Amino acid sequence: MTNTETNVTIPDRIRFLMSRQHMSQQQFAQRVGINPSNMSKFLSGKLPITDGFINKIVVNMGVSKQWLVDGSDVPFPKVHAVPVANGPLPGMECGDKSARGIPVYDINVSAGCTELSRLFTADRIIGSLDLPGLGDDCCIVRVGGDSMWPVIKDGGYVAIRRINDMRHIFWGQIYVIIMEDYRLVKYVRRNMADADGMILHSANPDYDDMEISRSEVMGLYLVEMIINCDIRC
């Protein structure tokens, strides 16, 4: 059984992280920002594990550097909740990031263009929600703007799950689409005039459809649940 007590080397602790996050070597390499071809070399000892490699894991996976280096700490230390402008969601458990439930991140998913996996760090977690029907591979982020109104309110939250295979698109569903210059939340529809294309559709009729190619999509996250809430004093 894999647990922290048997993780006696750095490669063992990296394998523990991959197992805990249900990631393959390639997925883990992409998450931490290294060449996937070097991942097995790091794990087998063919390449020395550098401080730069360790720092990438610490930053992108939100783990304790002390734990990763010598195993003397816990993998995911407790951090204090980060206040956000809209405040925590009702029913959210704050402070203890090991709390049971889906993590809620202080991330506006529709602002910026950084690949989301690089933003899912422990210091951005503001709490957790125990919601039925959501898997451990989901997370909750905030949506800004009114392009998806009234389906998603400005400042509402969505539970999202990364799609690793672009062939598995559920047409007509809402996705977070990562492109070189944008992160968008849209309905994704099939482009009947272009087999390699897709149409991004807003719920708000004031916004026009966008036609893009699949090759422009750098990351795709399915919206599993929409959480519209009114924060009232």
CATH topology of domain 4-70: 434 Repressor (Amino-terminal Domain) (1.10.260)
The Cα 92–Cα 121 span in angstroms is: 18
CATH topology of domain 102-227: Umud Fragment, subunit A (2.10.109)
pLDDT confidence of residue 94: 41
The Cα 152–Cα 185 span in angstroms is: 9
Q: What pTM was estimated for this model as a whole?
A: 0.60
What single DSSP character describes residue 220? E
Render pLDDT for 81-100 as a digit per residue (tens, 0 to 9): 333 334 444 444 444 444 46
Question: Residue-wise over 139-178: b if at least 16 C-beta within 10 A, else e?
Answer: bbbbbebbbbbebbbebbbbbbbbbeeeeebeeeebbbbb
Render pLDDT for 159-212 as a digit per residue (tens, 0 to 9): 999 988 877 788 999 999 998 888 999 999 999 999 889 999 999 999 999 999
Q: Who wins on pLDDT, 189 or 137? A: 189
* Domain boundary assignment for the chain: 4-70, 102-227
